[in-house]
A and B are shown apart, each in its own frame.
Chain A
Amino acid sequence: MTGLRYVYAVCRPFRSALQTQLKGVAGEPPKQLTHHGLVAVLSTVPERDFAEEPLRAHLEDLDWLTETARAHQSVIDALTVVTTPLPLRLATVFRDDSGVRIMMEAREAEFRRTLDRLEGRVEWGVKVYAEAEPAENGPPAGTPTSGRDYLRQRRSRARAHDDMWQHAETFASRLHATLSERAEDSRLHAPQNASLSGASGRNVLNAAYLVPRADSESFVELVDRTKDEEAGIRVELTGPWAAYSFVGEEGA
Chain B
Amino acid sequence: MTVIERREVALVDLLDRLLSGGVVITGDVTLRIADVDLVRIDLNALISSVNAQVPSPFQELT
Chain A residues proximal to chain B, CB less than 8 Å: 4, 10, 50-52, 55-56, 59-60, 62, 65-66, 69-70, 72-73, 86-95, 98-99, 102-103, 106-107, 111, 114, 123, 125, 189-190, 192-193, 195-198, 206, 208, 213-214, 216-217, 220, 238-241, 244-247
Bound-state Cα–Cα, A136 to B45, Å: 41
Known A59-B46, A89-B21, A190-B55: A196·B12 in contact at CB below 8 Å: yes
CA distance in complex: A56, B46 (Å): 9
Produce 1/0 per residue, B22-53, CB < 8 A to A. 11110001001101111111010110011101
Residues A106 and B11 in contact, CB atoms below 8 Å apart: no
- Residues from chain A with a CB closer than 8 A to the CB of B51 are 193, 195-196
Residues of A contacting B32 in the complex (Cβ-Cβ under 8 angstroms): 106
Query: How many of chain B's residues touch chain A, expressed as a range?
Result: 35 or more
A213→B19 CA distance, assembly (Å): 24
Additional pairs, 8, CB under 8 Å, beyond known A89-B24, A198-B12: A56-B45, A69-B18, A89-B19, A94-B38, A95-B39, A190-B20, A192-B12, A238-B13
| Closest-CB distance, B5 to chain A (whole angstroms) | 11
B2 at the interface (CB under 8 A from A): yes
Q: Which residues of B contact A70 (CB under 8 A)?
A: 14
Q: Which residues of A contact B22 (CB under 8 A)?
A: 87-90, 92, 244, 247
- In the complex, the answer to whether B54 meets A10 with C-beta atoms within 8 Å is no
Q: Residues of B contacting A90 with CB < 8 Å?
A: 18-19, 22, 43
Contact partners of B53 in chain A: CB under 8 A: 193
In the complex, the answer to whether B1 meets A213 with C-beta atoms within 8 Å is yes
> Do A95 and B57 form a contact, CB below 8 Å, given A60-B46, A73-B9?
no
Contact A60 B45 (CB under 8 A): yes
